[in-house]
Copies of this chain bind each other. A is one copy, B any other.
Amino acid sequence: MQRDIPEVVIKRLPIYYRSLQQMAQMGKDVVSSQELAKSAGVTATQVRRDLSYFGEFGKQGKGYSVELLLSELRRILNLDRDWDVVLVGAGSLGRAVTRYPRLEQHGFRIRHVYDHNPNRINTRLNGLVVEDVSLMPEQISREGIRIAIIAVPPSSAQEVADELVRSGIKAILNYAPATIQVPDDVRVYDIDPVAAMQSLTYYLEPYESRRKRKLSSASDRIDITS
């Protein structure tokens, strides 16, 4: 039993879970590590190594029981319960978040939406009333909510994160295009579609091939200006 399970492993578990749910819906009872690997876009060795952090879930050569592996992953990922969530930011991004039905379907219930803009406060967003962000700290701590979604402009992201952490939030899904600093006991998952796109365009003409074409043209050494 290893003590520290790498974050990349934890990030792959929900993908296995998603694949297994699809298999269960299709009536599949047993899955090999090869099949699970293919369906999750990794190698079979990876699947076996990732799962081995949590015990032995299959018999050599016999594969995994889809139902049992699902229930184990549910337990490991703390999905055998619903989770209350607060959303900060009722602009276009926040609105899109409230309209995304899969969060609720998977047990993530948005209990409060906050904004500081008076024009947004008290308006309705997909069944939720936008509340004044000044109410946030007290409501989070009274209701014991531990998960927040940040959907504010990058310039206010850190300030919002600080307030959330002070109120007791331990997990943040961050849609603001800014890196936020949090204490060690708080986890952040960043989603930035622009950064995703910008890593994809790298591969449309990878640096290596471009570099080879212009190898003789110039030195790549760049000095700073000041």
A178 contact set on B, CB distance < 8 A: 18, 22
**Are B68 and A222 in contact, CB atoms less than 8 angstroms apart?**
yes
Residue pair A147, B10 in contact (C-beta under 8 Å): no
Q: Does A127 contact B (CB under 8 A)?
A: no
Kindly list chain B residues whose C-beta atoms are within 8 Å of the C-beta of A11.
195, 199
Q: Is the CB of A92 within 8 A of B83?
A: no
| B196 touching A189, Cβ below 8 Å | yes
A167 at the interface (CB under 8 A from B): no
A181 pairs with B10, CB closer than 8 A: no
**A211 CA to B17 CA, complexed, in Å:** 20
Q: How far is the CA of A154 from the CA of B226 in the complex (A)?
A: 52
Question: How many residues on A have C-beta within 8 angstroms of the other chain's C-beta atoms?
Answer: 88
Check B173–A197 contact: CB distance below 8 A.
yes
In the complex the two chains form, is A147's CB within 8 Å of B93's CB?
A: no
| B-facing residues in A82-112 (Cβ within 8 Å) | 83, 85, 92-93, 96-97, 99-103, 106, 108
Given contacts A30-B224, A202-B10, contact A181 B38 (CB under 8 A): yes
Q: Would you list 28 pairs from A and B whose C-beta atoms are within 8 A, ordered by A residue?
A: A5-B207, A10-B199, A11-B195, A14-B195, A15-B195, A17-B195, A17-B198, A22-B178, A29-B226, A39-B179, A41-B179, A56-B222, A59-B223, A65-B225, A67-B225, A76-B202, A77-B202, A78-B201, A79-B201, A83-B204, A85-B197, A92-B99, A106-B194, A170-B203, A170-B204, A187-B200, A189-B199, A189-B200
